[in-house]
Amino acid sequence: MRKSKIISLLLAGAFCLSVAGCSVKSPNKLLRYARRTYGDCELVDSEQTDDYTRIIVRDELQGFEYQVTSGMYDMNLDGSSFGSLEDTRSNFDLALEEYVFGEVQDELEDICEEAGVEGSSDDFCLWLIRCDDEQAGIDAALECAEILQEYNLNNRMDNWEIVVQAYQAYNEYGDKRYGSVVLPDIEWVSHEQETANYFLDTARMIADTNDVEYLSSEVRPFSDTGADIDRVAETSYQPYPTSEDSLVTFYYFKTEDGTEFYVCDFLYNNDDYTYSDWYTNYGE
C-alpha cells in the first residue's frame, strides 16, 4: 500500500513537472540563490546548456571562488522513470575549506610539530590529530581551533570538528578516539562526553521533545535490561552484547514532566526484524 502511494505521488509529481515545463535555472536565478544562501558575491563566469547551468562566483566576505550548478536529475523507482527534477547544488563548503587551509595549513602543521603530534586534513573532519600523548593532542587541538575560528566569519564553519585520535591504538572497531573540539567553541569534548551528547540527542528523538535532561550513565550486565539477547542486532563498527553477562552502558534521562528512562548502547531489532534501533525502556 505504501509503495503504491509513493508511486502515485511520483507519477503525479512528474505530470505536474511536465506541465510546468520544469527546466534548469538561469544564471541570474543561480546568482540570486548564491547570494541568498551564502552571502554577497559577484559573478565571475557562467555556462548554460539544455542540461545544466553553472556559474562561478567570488565570495565578497572572504574572496574565494565557488560554483553553483542547476541540473536535471531523473526520478527512477524499481527501474521505471518518472520524469526529471531540477536540483541546485554548490561546492561552497569545499571551496571554503580549501581557502581556509590555503591560509592556515602551514601554521596548523607547525603547532602540531611543536606539540609532537601529527596533524592533517581529513575526509571526515576539518583537522585530524594523531598522537601517543592524549594531553599533547588536546593542547594542540585547542590551539589549532583558535586559529581556525578566526576564519569562521558569519559562523560559516560552525560544527566543523578537530578530532584527536590515538596514533597507533587500533582495535577491531577502528581507531581509538580521544575527543574533539567543535567550532565555534574553543573547548575540549572528551569521547565519553561526545557519546553522552549523542545519546541525549537520541533520547530527545525517542521522547519526541527537546525537554530531556541527561542524568548519568553506568555499566551493567545485559541481563539487567530485560531485553531478549536473540534480538540484539550484530554491528561491525562497535561491540554488541552476546550473552546475558555482557556489559552494556545505560544512559539515564528525565523529561520535563518527570518521566525517567534509559537508553542502552546496543541496537535492538523490532518484532519482525525489519529495522533496529537503540534499546530503551521508554514507554514501558
141-162 confidence digits (pLDDT tens):
999 999 999 999 999 999 999 9
Query: What pLDDT score does 171 carry?
Result: 58
Does residue 19 have a pLDDT over 60? no
Residue percentage of the chain with pLDDT more than 70? 87
Q: What confidence score (pLDDT) does residue 169 get? A: 58
Q: Is the pLDDT of residue 5 over 80?
A: no
Indicate if the alpha-carbon torsion angle 125, 130, 133, 139 is positive or negative: negative
User: Which has more pLDDT, 196 or 174?
Assistant: 196
Residue 51 has pLDDT above 50, yes or no: yes
Task: Please check the confidence at residue 226 and state whether its pLDDT lies above 90.
Answer: yes
What confidence category does residue 6 fall into, taking pLDDT thresholds of 50, 70 and 90? very low
Structure confidence at residue 211 (pLDDT): 97
C-alpha cell at 51: 542540461
242 has pLDDT over 70: yes
* pLDDT above 80 (res 137): yes
23-32, 163-172, 174-183, 199-208: lowest mean pLDDT where?
A: 163-172
pLDDT of residue 3: 44
Note the pLDDT tens digit of each residue in 60-86: 999 999 999 999 877 776 666 667 788
Poorest-confidence range of 21-25, 69-73, 107-111, 259-263? 21-25
3-state secondary structure the chain: CHHHHHHHHHHHHHHHHHHHCCCCCCHHHHHHHHHHHHCCEEEEEEEECCCEEEEEEEECCCCCEEEEEEEEEEEEECCEEEEEEEEEEECHHHHHHHHHHHHHHHHHHHHHHHHCCEEECCCCCCEEEEECCHHHHHHHHHHHHHHHHCCCHHHCCCCCEEEEEEEEEEECCEEEEEEEEECCCCCCEEHHHHHHHHHHHHHHHHHCCCCEEEEEEEEEEHHHHCCCHHHECCCCCCCCCCCCCCEEEEEEEEECCCCEEEEEEEEEECCCCCCEEEEECCCC
Name which of 78-92, 239-253, 265-279 the model is least confident about: 78-92
At 22 the pLDDT is: 67
Give the pLDDT band of residue 4 (cuts 50, 70, 90): very low
pTM above 0.85, yes or no: no
Mean pLDDT (the chain) is 90
Average pLDDT over residues 266-274: 94
154: alpha, beta or left, given left = phi > 0 and alpha = psi -120 to 50? left
